[in-house]
Structure 1
Amino acid sequence: MSEGARPMQEPTLLLLTALADEPRHGYALMQEVAEISNGRVRLRTGTLYGALERLQREGMVRVEREEVVDGRARKVYALADQGASALAEETARIRAVALEAERRLALRPRLKGVTA
Structure 2
Amino acid sequence: MKSFEPLTDSVFYIMASLTEPRHGYAVMSFVEETTEGAFVIGPASLYSIIKKLLKEQLIVLHDESNTRRKVYKLTEIGRQTLAVDIARRKVMIRMAETGLERGDT
Which of 52, 57, 60 lines up with 2:58 in the alignment?
60
Cross-structure match for 2:80: 85
Name the % identity: 30
Deviations 1:81-103, CA, capped at 9 Å, x for gaps: 11110110000001011111111
Q: Detail structure 1 runs of 4+ shifted over 4 Å in the superposition.
A: none
Does the 8 Å contact 1:18/1:36 carry over to 2? no
Count of residue pairs brought into register by the alignment: 105
Structure 1 distance, partners of 2:80, 2:99, is: 29
After TM superposition, the score normalised by the length of structure 2 is: 0.88
After TM superposition, the score normalised by the length of structure 1 is: 0.81
Does the 8 Å contact 1:60/1:82 carry over to 2? yes
Which of 78, 90, 96 lines up with 1:95 in the alignment?
90
Deviations 1:43-81, CA, capped at 9 Å, x for gaps: 22221111101000011110011133xxx6321101111
Which structure's CA Rg is the greater one? 1
Cross-structure match for 2:45: 47
Amino acid of the structure 2 residue aligned with 1:73 = R
Structure 2: gaps (5+ residues): none
Cross-structure match for 2:28: 30
Structure 1: gaps (5+ residues): 112-116
